[in-house]
Structure 1
Amino acid sequence: MSGAPGPTRLSKHRRLSHLSPLSRNKDFNVFWLGQALSVIGGSISLFALPLLVLDATGSLARMGLITAVAAVSAVGTGLFAGHVVDRVDRRRLMIVCDLSRALLLGAVPFLWLAGPRIWLLFLLTAVVGVLRTLFDVAYVTAVPNLVPAEDLTAANGRLMSTFAVGTLVGPVAAGAIATWVGPDWALGLDGATFLVSAASLRWVRLPPRPAPDGAGEERLPGGGARKAREMFLVGFRFLWSHELLRPLTVLLTLLTFVTIGATDLLIFRVRRDLDQSAATLGYVVAVSGLGTLVGALCAGRLRRLLGFGACWLGSVALVGLAVAGIGVSRDVPTIAALAAVFMFGLTVAGVCSMTLRQEVTPDPLLGRVTSVFWTVHNASGPVGAAVLTRLAQTHGVPAISLATGAFCLLLVCAGLFTPLRAGRTGRPKEPVTGSPGRGPAGGLPRRTRPGRRR
């Protein structure tokens, strides 16, 4: 029978017909798989870098400074990363960021052969932080161009699940590598994963961004600096005028100040106070990743059952109790379980705060409000990491962990005297106008995705 499909072609057609549209999307799947390995590599670096500083200096304060440098570079780059990404070829930018990080991190074990150079790690951390932020912003904006709108939720779900898996696998791999050949080679391995990411992006067809013609841009007088300042102020005015977002921003800024260095305290506690191996520390951090995964899965349901106020404040209470417990416990399995509770609380609180912003912010302002919210509360992180680790170096991890836990509980008590207690979202407020006759800040900017920001 001429023209009839043979058994092989027919069975192949039937197999493909059972796949979801997303599973048949070659560009997205190449992108997803390439980034999966890169996420694992990033988790390795997140663990190996402070461990390398600790092994070289034995100083908890130096670990805190490395964390502070990373946070400063991320906050600073976040102020202009969106502007850059909107004006260049995103795929090319991501490839350049990957190749640059591969070169920088891949060189660490070879440079370390001549002896530890701590100043080099500070420089590397700052540069890699800039490259990571540029890549992450381009990464978030690329996804909607790889999948149709109806597949966007499923695509983001896959990418977020990959991130959660990376937080489980990365620390275990980093701990094993650091035990066998040293944390410097763990950083070198991370560099190799960026080569894989860059190669995968070469196979992804991503529509180039058209050259900006000014359409849809904020038409504000003055140069780029004035425009950026005005856009920031519009978002800040809305944030500060909202009865829920104002206390949330203040409390989260204080929470970030005392928790951003918690990972450094955990590493020092297990590695030095309890004299455990790097491999054991890797398993402890991996168990904490389970808290991230469970928190991401449960946050929506907990929010619906308890309401925003109870859910967010309860999560902060869990964070405080977990930090205090980690500092005083000498049992490694208990510390691992408390680390998971800590990450669970941070994840649920982060998901709740992000959802609240989406609910109460008008769509034309969401990008600016999210950017201001993230910049303001994360700006306290670098100072907090440096202060927290310096105090722990002087007074010991147990004392500072107990003080941090008590401070978190004080934040909960303070929140009970704000509108967060009830947490009713209500209808979005009217946008704050930027200038007469221009509507909200002179235009309707494209809505941006919060990504993994809280």
Structure 2
Amino acid sequence: MSGLWRNRDFQLLCAGQGLSQLGSQTSSVAIPLLVLRETGSPLAVGVVEAVWTTVQVAAFVPAGVIVDRYDRRAIMVSCDLGRLAATVALAAALLTGSASLTLFLLYCTVLGLLGAPFTAAGPAALREIVPGDGMVAAVSVLQARSQVTYILGPMFGGLLYMVSPSLPLWFDVFSFAMSALSIMALRTSLRVTATATAPTLAEAQAEATGRRRGMAGDLATAARFLRSARYLRRQILIAALLKLAFDGLMLAIIIVASLRSASGLSIGVIIGLTSVGSLAGSLLAPRLNGRFAVRPMVIVATLTCACLVPAMALTGDGLVLAALLAACSVLVTAASVLLAAQQVLMTPAELQGRVHSAANLVNFAFAPAGTVLAGWMLGVLPHAGVFLVFGAFLWAVALADLVIPAAPPPAAPPPETREPTGLATT
């Protein structure tokens, strides 16, 4: 971990993206309130949120190809500046009283289109900046930073909104600017290069042919890699199924607490408790790295949750439910950090964008099913039954992962084959 603090470029990337995440969390609280204030329509709020999510999911497909073809530094800076311009336009329109539903939809479209390539480029940049033996610690720090922004961002956004409705957007403008500056200041080259584990001649020819065929060829190359990387494909699916369950459980807990007349403050505490559990898991991951293999860690984390979630059927107290989910989050987040680091290391440098876009696409595709399922079950089952169903689902995921044979993970390149980059020279 100490090497990360001497890694200048990692510190820049962590600080810049952390501030950007804080800005995004801040504005995410304000956008629904602003849409409702400007249009007076709850339906408009839902439409704006749906457009944002749908556009970003659709953009993940071309985003991976773009990230693997062009200079990743230029892509990330361009995405930041584009989102900055869109946010300035919306914030200015709010100040002049000219905001409209059409403008909100355009704003969300731009953020969705530019958010996908920026998200795909992040892990690819991390691979170049951090040596292989420091990857778990780096992912742990980034995950912990994200959890802190999830805790602080909504509260900060609410406070800024009380001062002035457009203020959260202006803070987001500032955060995009700082993120772009931090990426421009990186000394590490983020240009796409082939890995030391070079492909065979046939694979190289297939890659060259794919590039001549354009985006379809690039996507086919990534598909061939994922078909051959059975272990990696399996872990991406497991991570998506766990996200499905957790998103559904979070919604179920919030609704159950609300039906029992929990205050807005109590709901905020419930959400915060889960983030605290995830933060603890992020900090725990480096201590587990090397002591336990990744797959057994994922199975143990899933089995632990499969035991804790049915216990939620015994209570309707929101804080107790949140505490149980937070306990689940500790191990699941620790396992997720190890999985994310393994995914970065197992993926060739020239395929980073496409593989991470594919993983994000699977996550985004599965996540809504959890919330839809929770909402539907709350309408037809007693609250206890909802938690029992999710518990059974987690048991099924854990047992399937335990019983179905899995290919062993391929060996990652030795840490000594990659030099640490961006280290301070003072």
TM-score (norm 2): 0.69
Preserved CA contact (<8 Å) 1:108 1:188: no
Quick one: structure 1 residues 356 and 209, their matched pair in 2 at CA, closer, same or farther if it must change by over 3 Å? closer
Aligned to 2:278: 292
For structure 1, the 5+ residue unaligned runs are 1-18, 431-446, 448-454
Aligned to 1:128: 111
| Equivalent-residue separation in structure 2 for 1:44 and 1:170 (angstroms) | 5
Q: 77, 87, 98: which one pairs with 2:69?
A: 87
Cα shift readout 1:243-300 (whole Å, capped 9, x = no counterpart): x965x766665555565466667777778984745x7655543333211111223457
Instruction: Give me the identity figure in percent.
Output: 26
Preserved CA contact (<8 Å) 1:44 1:171: yes
Quick one: structure 1 residues 85 and 320, their matched pair in 2 at CA, closer, same or farther if it must change by over 3 Å? farther
SS across alignment from 2:207: coil
**Alignment-mate amino acid for residue 296 of structure 1:** S
**By percentage of residues, which structure has more helix?**
2
Cα shift readout 1:8-47 (whole Å, capped 9, x = no counterpart): xxxxxxxxxxx96654544443443333322222232344
2:211 equivalent to 1:219: no
Quick one: structure 1 residues 135 and 375, their matched pair in 2 at CA, closer, same or farther if it must change by over 3 Å? closer
Aligned to 1:9: none
Aligned to 1:35: 17
Map 1:296-311 to 2 at 5 A.
296-298=282-284, 301=288, 304=292, 307-311=297-301
Of 148-157 and 263-272, deviating more is 263-272
1:197 shift after superposition: 1.9
Of 253-262 and 193-202, deviating more is 253-262
RMSD: 4.9
Cα shift readout 1:318-358 (whole Å, capped 9, x = no counterpart): 46766x799x54x5x44654563464465256346557878
2:413 equivalent to 1:427: no
Quick one: structure 1 residues 234 and 86, their matched pair in 2 at CA, closer, same or farther if it must change by over 3 Å? closer
2:77 equivalent to 1:101: no
Aligned to 1:165: 148
Cα shift readout 1:221-261 (whole Å, capped 9, x = no counterpart): 6712442343354245446x66x965x76666555556546
Preserved CA contact (<8 Å) 1:90 1:208: yes
Aligned to 2:171: 189
Aligned to 1:315: 305
| Equivalent-residue separation in structure 2 for 1:208 and 1:198 (angstroms) | 14
Quick one: structure 1 residues 147 and 64, their matched pair in 2 at CA, closer, same or farther if it must change by over 3 Å? same
**Alignment-mate amino acid for residue 158 of structure 2:** G
Q: 195, 199, 203: which one pairs with 2:181?
A: 199
Preserved CA contact (<8 Å) 2:73 2:183: yes
Length, aligned pairs only: 396
| Equivalent-residue separation in structure 1 for 2:105 and 2:373 (angstroms) | 18
SS across alignment from 1:32: helix
1:404 shift after superposition: 5.0
Cα shift readout 1:81-108 (whole Å, capped 9, x = no counterpart): 2322233333232222222222323443
Map 1:256-295 to 2 at 5 A.
256-257=243-244, 259-260=246-247, 274=261, 276-277=263-264, 282-295=268-281
| Equivalent-residue separation in structure 1 for 2:373 and 2:44 (angstroms) | 11
SS across alignment from 1:427: coil
| Equivalent-residue separation in structure 1 for 2:14 and 2:343 (angstroms) | 27
| Equivalent-residue separation in structure 2 for 1:352 and 1:26 (angstroms) | 23
| Equivalent-residue separation in structure 1 for 2:342 and 2:129 (angstroms) | 28
Quick one: structure 1 residues 380 and 187, their matched pair in 2 at CA, closer, same or farther if it must change by over 3 Å? same
SS across alignment from 1:35: helix
The structure that has the greater radius of gyration is 1
Quick one: structure 1 residues 389 and 194, their matched pair in 2 at CA, closer, same or farther if it must change by over 3 Å? farther
Q: Which has the higher contact order (CA 8 A, sep 6+)?
A: 2
Preserved CA contact (<8 Å) 1:176 1:282: no
2:400 equivalent to 1:411: no
Preserved CA contact (<8 Å) 2:10 2:129: yes
Of 34-43 and 50-59, deviating more is 50-59
Q: 143, 146, 164: which one pairs with 2:126?
A: 143
Aligned to 2:423: none
Preserved CA contact (<8 Å) 2:29 2:157: yes
Preserved CA contact (<8 Å) 2:123 2:344: no
Quick one: structure 1 residues 273 and 202, their matched pair in 2 at CA, closer, same or farther if it must change by over 3 Å? farther
Aligned to 2:159: 176
1:128 shift after superposition: 0.9
SS across alignment from 1:207: coil
1:316 shift after superposition: 5.2
Cα shift readout 1:145-177 (whole Å, capped 9, x = no counterpart): 445666655544443432232223222212323
For structure 2, the 5+ residue unaligned runs are 412-417, 419-426
SS across alignment from 1:80: helix
